Amino acid sequence: MSKLLRFEAIKDLVQETVDRGVSGVEAIHKTIADIPFDALDRSGKLNEQGQSIRELQRSTIETVYASIRKVTHEVGDLASSMIEALEDHEDAQANIARAEAKRREESKGAPESKSGAESEDPAPPKDTP
């Protein structure tokens, strides 16, 4: 498995773990936030306004944690895009290296036109008086 594939797998694992952690914290937050409302409800003192506030609070908590999960997913998508770009870059570099190796191999088989000394530019003619 390439390093980039391992990195992608780790990114997915971290993203799933954060998502589950956020959901767990959200559930705990809702439970704790419900405690005073439950006490009022058991005592018969939770009126319509109190119930409305309870629903608003629950909705707000859900919105906050949904936003956190959304940001986590967007960061994960960005990381995936970056990994994909690196993979594309690696592929391009490998293709370039193969093409250069092929050219070198082909040039080894071709007859040489000039020896090293002859391939240099000849010296300009000397001015004769």
Helices within the chain (DSSP H only) = 3-42, 48-109
What pLDDT, on a 0 to 100 scale, did the predictor assign at position 111? 62
Q: What is the mean pLDDT of residues 100-128?
A: 66
Is the pLDDT score of 4 beyond 70? yes
Angle at 38 between CA 33 and CA 39, to 5 degrees: 110
* Confidence band for 112, pLDDT divided at 50, 70 and 90: low
Q: pTM for this one? A: 0.65
Q: Where are the domains of the chain?
A: 11-100
What pLDDT, on a 0 to 100 scale, did the predictor assign at position 114? 53
